[in-house]
């Protein structure tokens, strides 16, 4: 029996409709599934993701000027970053834009070389597709035919749209309207300025139904001092709404940044949540084994990890390695990844380590379904489209997270995008405002959480959405959290504690959480040390530190620093596009630093030492450390510690200070012969070119007290008073506090 075909934005919206359907379940597709079903390229096979990357790499090898886009010759590096180019090509096709449409003549000529290379890459990629009779989904919009007969199976087509549809989606809907009645449902938001214009081609052929909403929810708006504290606040809000007799299935937690999901999962001591995005495969123990194998020859920690796990570093082939996966879910994901990689392994001669790297790259994009059974759903923001919930808890409403920054804006600026009629950053921000406005308007109760401290500010969206109240400090009982008998294991006591060496990192861990210090330095449990890869910003920061040391050691003239740093940094990161992109950003950011260096050198400062490893006897201990740099000016000495991120904040009250890195460095410098009365120390911001100096006199008494406490042979290794460190601690599961 014919029935209506329903098209919705997401698979989550489909599940929501099916769960609330009466009688026979209707036929429901997502907009992506509808597009794939109705539009096709005749006599072509749609290329899969792996073959897509491999074909694009083959095309890139024929480029005449690949360096203009920083395209790497390294096969695996290119495969890792091919999605940047493919997403860009997909966007051009959806909006009917050719690369030539982006060329600007003389006004914005700096983009013309990039666009010319992209145009050539796209043309070469098309040629490679033609050779194999492939169709790329990104180019279906350019060469499509319509499968309209399929639509005759239905009585009508009902489409729900949230957000602004692309011109290609509108073309497909208009074509479908020639075959059967088309009804389009929208929920206009105050920021949907582009929606009416986008739907105008459908006005004559479709019935457009508007579901008018008002933002009348009961809002609870809170701030917290640290991001990790949101996990506790989210759990408290869930119980608050459950106490109001709201069913758990009608409560949703929305994460604008899905990277917060692992932290929330780790601190979900009540088993409240199910995570729609699953668990990143990169968090599995099997993935850690692969990372350790990749670093086996370069990292002592990785080598020790493999040896403790009794894994043969010469593991045979990848199928043998996949048997080490612990759960059935892990084994299934590993097998799926190997099946995907089979065409590449067949087409390219790769070394065992290159195969392992590619295996790791593929697994990083995978996730494991969450089957713990929690009744509160955790969703990414986009998955909330066309669904409604009685209570919404939105986390991470901070200006650096909401609105989201899209990778699609990497290649072009807003002026070029607007001229070519591509979505600009402002258009994406309006779409995101509308998304949250609809989500909140459909709900009866809403909690918004944000972080508010020296580094983070609430999102501008809060005011722009018409929420007039200011965030209140969330009433987390930190003392109860730290001392509750059900949550806190007994203290660990020892009468034989003796440590003769002390570094800044060691003292900071001791003052942050003595339990963590106990596991790391007394029990010497190091299984998790240094196995996870740092983020690209951190890798770029580390590369920058190395380059600054090189420039100093080579005694390059201060006027040539910026040029020398740029050349060395680009050379150091040339094999990785993402890392190279971060490096390019740093070259621009370093201008204030280089200008400040010229000013300081003009005042008489000179570089005296760099990357100085030193030790010194102090109060019966041996202090150890490596100083980034020491400058001198007459009888004065200045210790500098580079910071590529935000500068550490010195505590307003000396008793709260736990970072004594500069204090330790001062004693190391004195041991090297520098006059105590002339020694200063500061953190040097590479982004701002500013130095934050430490007031030694203010913290000297506190430092001495901490040293005395550290030296005591009788220690009780209690948990920290705050739960904040637990979110990042490698021993959180061992101490059971986060359970």
Within this chain, do residues 466 and 497 fall inside the same structural domain, yes or no? no
pLDDT at 469: 84
What pLDDT digit, counting tens, does each position of 135-160 carry? Answer: 988 778 888 899 988 999 999 999 99
Which residue(s) pair with 254 in the sheet?
A: 379, 394
Rounded to the nearest 10 degrees, the angle between the axes of helix 285-294 and helix 300-308 is 130
Within this chain, do residues 347 and 305 fall inside the same structural domain, yes or no? yes
* pLDDT-above-90 percentage for the chain: 48
The average pLDDT across 218-224 equals 93
Within this chain, do residues 189 and 61 fall inside the same structural domain, yes or no? no
Domain assignment of residue 398, yes or no = yes
Domain assignment of residue 565, yes or no = no
What pLDDT digit, counting tens, does each position of 673-697 carry? Answer: 999 999 999 999 998 999 999 999 9
DSSP letter string over 412-453? --HHHHHHTT---HHHHHHHHHHHHHHHHHH-SEEEEEEE-S
CA distance 159 to 163: 13
φ, ψ (nearest 5 deg) of residue 382: -65, -25
**In this model, does residue 210 exceed pLDDT 50?**
yes
Residue 383's closest CA among 461, 275, 249? 275
Least confident interval from 53-57, 502-506, 534-538: 534-538
Residue 132's closest CA among 51, 28, 199? 51
Sorting pLDDT into bands at 50, 70 and 90, what band is 409? low
What pLDDT digit, counting tens, does each position of 686-738 carry? Answer: 989 999 999 999 999 999 999 999 988 888 888 887 777 877 787 776 775 54
Boundary residue ending a domain (210, 234, 267): 210
Within this chain, do residues 706 and 722 fall inside the same structural domain, yes or no? no
The answer to whether the beta carbons of residues 590 and 686 sit under 8 Å apart is yes
Do the bridges between strand 621-633 and strand 606-618 make them parallel or antiparallel, or are there none, so unpaired? antiparallel
- Cα distances (angstroms) measured from residue 35 to each of 121, 368, 397, 422, 585: 26, 27, 33, 20, 38
Helix (H) or strand (E) holding 273: strand 273-275
Boundary residue ending a domain (152, 176, 210): 210
Within this chain, do residues 272 and 382 fall inside the same structural domain, yes or no? yes
Please, is 648 exposed, middle or buried when counting C-beta atoms within 10 Å of its C-beta (0-12, 13-18, 19+)? middle
User: Can you state the percent helix, strand and coil of the chain, rounding each to 5?
Assistant: 50, 15, 35
Higher pLDDT, 181 or 73: 181
Domain assignment of residue 597, yes or no = no
Dihedral sign for Cα 52, 57, 58, 63, please: positive
Tell me the pLDDT of the chain averaged across its residues: 86
> Cα-Cα-Cα-Cα dihedral of 481, 517, 504, 613, to 10°?
-160
CA distance 29 to 26: 10
Do the bridges between strand 636-643 and strand 621-633 make them parallel or antiparallel, or are there none, so unpaired? antiparallel
What pLDDT digit, counting tens, does each position of 18-72 carry? Answer: 887 777 778 999 999 999 999 999 989 888 888 888 888 888 888 876 665 556 6
pLDDT at 640: 96
Domain assignment of residue 272, yes or no = yes
pLDDT at 738: 46
CA distance 260 to 332: 25
Domain assignment of residue 152, yes or no = yes
Q: What is the CATH number of the domain that holds 395?
A: 3.40.50.300
Boundary residue ending a domain (187, 210, 233): 210
- DSSP, collapsed to helix, strand or coil, labels residue 700 as helix
pLDDT at 668: 95
Domain assignment of residue 573, yes or no = no
Residue 476's closest CA among 709, 648, 689, 228? 228
pLDDT at 548: 92
Report the number of distinct structural domains present in the chain. 6
Within this chain, do residues 52 and 135 fall inside the same structural domain, yes or no? yes
Domain assignment of residue 409, yes or no = yes
What pLDDT digit, counting tens, does each position of 557-586 carry? Answer: 999 999 999 999 988 887 776 777 788 888
Within this chain, do residues 130 and 158 fall inside the same structural domain, yes or no? no
Q: By residue range, what is the domain housing residue 326?
A: 281-368
Within this chain, do residues 273 and 376 fall inside the same structural domain, yes or no? yes
pLDDT at 534: 53
Residue 536's closest CA among 67, 81, 85, 69? 81
The average pLDDT across 624-637 equals 95
Assessment of whether the complete model's pTM goes beyond 0.75:
no
Within this chain, do residues 185 and 253 fall inside the same structural domain, yes or no? no
**In this model, does residue 186 exceed pLDDT 60?**
yes
CA distance 324 to 285: 10
* Side-chain-side CA neighbours of residue 390 (13 Å): 12
Sorting pLDDT into bands at 50, 70 and 90, what band is 106? very low
Within this chain, do residues 272 and 394 fall inside the same structural domain, yes or no? yes
pLDDT at 303: 86
Please, is 208 exposed, middle or buried when counting C-beta atoms within 10 Å of its C-beta (0-12, 13-18, 19+)? middle
Within this chain, do residues 323 and 269 fall inside the same structural domain, yes or no? no
Which residue(s) pair with 280 in the sheet?
A: 367
pLDDT at 111: 58
- DSSP, collapsed to helix, strand or coil, labels residue 245 as coil
Domain assignment of residue 291, yes or no = yes
Two tokens, residue 735:
């101490």
CA distance 103 to 89: 15
Within this chain, do residues 298 and 364 fall inside the same structural domain, yes or no? yes
- Cα distances (angstroms) measured from residue 337 to each of 230, 333, 334, 532, 688: 34, 6, 5, 20, 43
Higher pLDDT, 461 or 370: 461
CA 122 to chain CA centroid, nearest Å: 28
């Amino acid at each position: 029996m014919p029935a209506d075909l329903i098209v919705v934005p997401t698979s989550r919206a489909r599940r929501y409709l099916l769960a609330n359907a009466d009688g026979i379940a209707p036929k429901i597709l997502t907009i992506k599934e509808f597009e794939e079903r109705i539009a096709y390229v005749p006599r072509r096979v749609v290329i899969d993701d792996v073959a897509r990357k491999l074909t694009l790499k083959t095309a890139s090898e024929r480029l005449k000027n690949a360096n203009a886009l920083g395209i790497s010759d390294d096969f695996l590096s290119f495969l890792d970053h091919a999605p940047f180019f493919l997403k860009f090509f997909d966007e051009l096709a959806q909006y009917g834009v050719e690369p030539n449409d982006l060329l600007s003549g003389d006004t914005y000529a700096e983009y013309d070389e990039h666009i010319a290379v992209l145009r050539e890459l796209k043309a070469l990629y098309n040629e490679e597709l033609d050779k194999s009779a492939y169709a790329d989904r990104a180019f279906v919009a350019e060469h499509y035919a319509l499968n309209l007969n399929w639509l005759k199976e239905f009585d009508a087509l009902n489409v729900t749209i949230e957000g602004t549809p692309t011109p290609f989606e509108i073309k497909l809907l208009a074509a479908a309207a020639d075959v059967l009645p088309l009804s389009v449902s929208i929920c206009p938001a105050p920021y949907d300025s582009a929606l009416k214009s986008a739907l105008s081609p459908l006005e004559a052929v479709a019935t457009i139904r508007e579901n008018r909403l008002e933002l009348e929810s009961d809002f609870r708006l809170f701030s917290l001092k640290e991001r990790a504290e949101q996990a506790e606040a989210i759990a408290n809000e869930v119980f608050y709404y459950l106490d109001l007799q709201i069913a758990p299935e009608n409560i949703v937690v929305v994460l604008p940044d899905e990277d917060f999901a692992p932290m929330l999962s780790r601190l979900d001591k009540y088993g409240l949540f199910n995570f729609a995005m699953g668990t990143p495969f990169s968090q599995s123990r099997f993935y850690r084994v692969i990372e350790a194998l990749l670093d086996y020859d370069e990292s002592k920690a990785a080598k020790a990890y493999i040896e403790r796990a009794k894994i043969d570093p010469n593991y045979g082939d990848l199928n043998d390695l996949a048997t080490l996966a612990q759960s059935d879910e892990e084994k299934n994901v590993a097998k799926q990844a190997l099946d995907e990689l089979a065409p590449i392994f067949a087409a390219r001669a790769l070394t065992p380590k290159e195969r392992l790297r590619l295996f790791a790259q593929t697994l990083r994009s995978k996730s494991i379904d969450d089957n713990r059974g929690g009744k509160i759903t955790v969703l990414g923001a986009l998955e909330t489209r066309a669904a409604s919930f009685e209570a919404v808890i939105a986390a991470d409403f901070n200006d650096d997270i909401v609105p989201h920054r899209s990778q699609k804006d990497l290649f072009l600026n807003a002026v070029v995008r607007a001229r070519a009629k591509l979505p600009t950053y402002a258009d994406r921000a309006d779409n995101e405002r509308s998304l949250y406005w609809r989500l909140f308007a459909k709900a009866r109760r809403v909690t918004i959480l944000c972080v508010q401290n020296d580094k983070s500010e609430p999102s501008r969206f809060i005011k722009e959405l018409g929420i007039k109240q200011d965030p209140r400090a969330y009433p987390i009982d930190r003392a109860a959290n730290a001392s509750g008998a059900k949550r806190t294991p007994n203290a660990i006591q020892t009468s034989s504690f003796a440590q003769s060496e002390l570094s800044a990192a060691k003292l900071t861990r001791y003052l942050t959480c003595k339990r963590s210090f106990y596991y790391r330095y007394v029990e010497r449990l190091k299984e998790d040390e240094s196995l996870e890869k740092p983020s690209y910003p951190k890798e770029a920061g580390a590369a920058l530190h190395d380059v600054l040391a090189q420039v100093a050691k080579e005694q390059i003239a201060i006027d040539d620093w910026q040029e020398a740093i740029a050349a060395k940094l680009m050379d150091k990161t040339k094999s990785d596009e993402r890392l190279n992109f971060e490096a390019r950003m740093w070259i621009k950011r370093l201008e204030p630093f280089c200008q400040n260096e010229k000013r300081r050198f003009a005042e008489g400062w000179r570089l005296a030492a760099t990357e100085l490893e030193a030790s010194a006897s102090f109060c019966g201990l041996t202090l150890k450390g490596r100083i980034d740099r020491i400058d001198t000016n007459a009888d004065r000495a200045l210790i500098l510690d580079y910071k590529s991120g935000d500068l550490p904040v010195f505590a307003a009250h000396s008793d709260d200070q736990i970072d004594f890195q500069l204090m330790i460095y001062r004693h190391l410098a004195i041991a090297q012969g520098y006059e105590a009365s002339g020694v200063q120390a500061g953190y040097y911001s590479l982004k701002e070119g500013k130095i934050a100096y430490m007031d030694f006199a203010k913290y000297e008494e506190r430092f001495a007290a901490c040293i005395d406490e550290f030296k005591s042979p009788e220690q009780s290794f209690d948990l920290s008073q705050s739960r904040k460190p637990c979110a990042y601690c490698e021993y959180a599961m061992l101490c059971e506090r986060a359970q």
